[in-house]
C-alpha cells in the first residue's frame, strides 16, 4: 500500500451561490470506453475546451462543504527528461 500526503482546502457554504466555473471543460475531450468513441468529432486541442470571456458564470455551489484536493508537486511532475540530461532540481 502506498500512502501519499495530500493538500485539502474546504469551503463551507450556508446558502447556494453562483460562482465562476472552471475555464476548461475536460469532458469535451475525445475519448473511448473500448466500445464507443465519444466526442470523436472534436479536436484534441485546448482551444475547444476553454470558455470564452464572461461565459463561465453558470456554476452554482449548493449548501454544504466543498473540497479541493491536490497531490504533492513531486507526484505531478515528470522527472525522466531531467534525469536523462543529468540535471537535478
Tens of pLDDT, residues 24-80: 777 778 888 889 988 888 777 766 666 666 666 677 889 999 998 888 888 877 767
The residue range of the domain holding 73 is 7-85
Residues 6+ apart with CB under 8 A from 39: 28, 29, 30, 31
Does 34 reside within a domain? yes
Per the structure, how many domains does the chain have? 1
The pLDDT score that the predictor gives to residue 24 is: 73
* Distance separating alpha carbons of residues 13 and 63, to the nearest angstrom: 5
Bridging pattern class, strands 64-70 and 31-32: unpaired
Strand, coil or helix: 78 = coil
Distances from the Cα of 28 to the Cα of 43, 55, 60, angstroms: 9, 16, 20
Does 23 reside within a domain? yes
Does 1 reside within a domain? no
Does 2 reside within a domain? no
Does 57 reside within a domain? yes
Does 71 reside within a domain? yes
80 vs 14, which has greater pLDDT?
14
The pLDDT score that the predictor gives to residue 46 is: 65
Does 30 reside within a domain? yes
The pLDDT score that the predictor gives to residue 16 is: 92
The pLDDT score that the predictor gives to residue 14 is: 95
* Distance separating alpha carbons of residues 32 and 84, to the nearest angstrom: 33
Amino acid at each position: 500500500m502506498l500512502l501519499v500526503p495530500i493538500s485539502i482546502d474546504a469551503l463551507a457554504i450556508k446558502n447556494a451561490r453562483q460562482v465562476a466555473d472552471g475555464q476548461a471543460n475536460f469532458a469535451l475531450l475525445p475519448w473511448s470506453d473500448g466500445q464507443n468513441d465519444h466526442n470523436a468529432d472534436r479536436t484534441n486541442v485546448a482551444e475547444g475546451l476553454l470558455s470564452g470571456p464572461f461565459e463561465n458564470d453558470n456554476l452554482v455551489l449548493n449548501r454544504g462543504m466543498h473540497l479541493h484536493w491536490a497531490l504533492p508537486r513531486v507526484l505531478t511532475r515528470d522527472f525522466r527528461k531531467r534525469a536523462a540530461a543529468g540535471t537535478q532540481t
